[in-house]
Amino acid sequence: MVGLLGHRQVGKTTLLEQLAKNYVSLDDLGALELADKDPIRFLEVHGAPGTAIDECQLAPGLFPSLKERVRRNKRPGQYFLSGSVRFTSRKIIRESLTGRIMTEELLPFTLSELSHRDLPDHLLQLLARNAFSASDVVEVPAGVHRARMKLVSLYLTQGGLPGVCFLRSEKLRRQRLEQQLQTILSRDLRQVYATGLALPRIMDFLRVLALEEGRPVQYQAIRRATGITPNTQKHLIRALEATFILRILPLEGDSSGEVYLLEDQGESHWISRGALSEDQQWSGLVYRNLREQTQYQVGSDARYFQFRTRSGVEIPFAIEDSHGVLGVVPTLGVPTRSERASAASFLRHYGRAKVLFVSKANFSHFYDSRVLCLPATHLLF
């Protein structure tokens, strides 16, 4: 079986309808009732090779029957299973699929996709380099830079969820985001964590999280703001990650803990009510657009984390793969003295490391064999 996972409205259904020979959605109440009450009969009706079962996590009782069916017939590609909840977050699903499925996550559209361009490989090339050189400096023509920055400005508020970002009316986009968040928080999230918290309180919690995007989780501060205990907060954060609202990055350095970033740029903007700092917005945009270049590469082993020390050193995110470690510092213009000091500290900590500054300005500079600055209008397109 092949699993396709991701945020609601990210495009899973559209892709499945193109790939599958037969398509059924468990958002259809009749199909869901049959899958719940008589999963064997459901699979007899929808048993053709290449069948897609959309939102299949809504019927966890279906998975043991799927397990038995593919145990008896080991032909690859019998089913496409999609979900807006990580299968591994539900025990009955996880145990039924072990060794029988490969999964792929579908991410929100990136700037390169919205520009109708092929998947960039700039990041992969930089990861594979033993050292940077002066030839890595890139000059983006001024007109190209201006045109791409117009798209960047739209992306900062509209994001990349195809079910939302193409709506021209800001009012309709807000309504769509609100509706889908209500569905996720009132239905999907509770499949993972059976909380008794009312929807408005969970929404308030998520808004507090959004305002602290990219910063270490401070459970006691969140408790004072929301009244939610740290233990419940941890369960909620894991459930929000399992429903693709946010991504969790571990902390490295002399700090412990984790940070999180919301999955979609537009959703982050809406939940935070546009109150994120320019630095937070820019760091989130760079992360959300760069990760596609590793995640959509077959065989990629890239791991993302944040580097932070008690003395104030911060590398917003770093990427480790078989070639070494690349620290990424999104910057609003020419890298500041503080940003360059953080880069130097990071390089002392990791022996096989390089640092890449990603500038919002049309600025490119070779500092030395381990430090390079490139404009985002080149790197992300």
What digits encode the pLDDT tens for the residues 106-139?
999 999 999 999 999 999 999 999 999 999 999 9
Same domain, 76 and 156: no
Cα radius of gyration rounded to whole Å, the chain:
22
Provide the pLDDT confidence category of residue 25 given band limits of 50, 70 and 90.
very high
Q: How far apart are CA 85 and CA 289, in angstroms?
A: 22
Q: How far apart are CA 243 and CA 86, in angstroms?
A: 7
Query: Among 47-56, 90-99, 267-276, which range has the highest average pLDDT?
Result: 267-276
Domain of 97: which CATH number?
3.40.50.300
The predicted structure's pLDDT at residue 48: 85
Same domain, 228 and 260: yes
* Tens-place pLDDT, residues 218-239: 999 999 999 999 999 999 999 9
Number of domains in the chain: 2
pTM, two decimals, is 0.92
Q: Which residues span the domain enclosing 153?
A: 111-379
How is the beta sheet containing 353-359 ordered, strand by strand? 258-262, 246-253, 303-308, 314-321, 324-331, 353-359, 371-375, 365-368
Same domain, 116 and 66: no
Q: How far apart are CA 159 and CA 173, in angstroms?
A: 10
The residue among 79, 105, 131 that closes a domain is 105
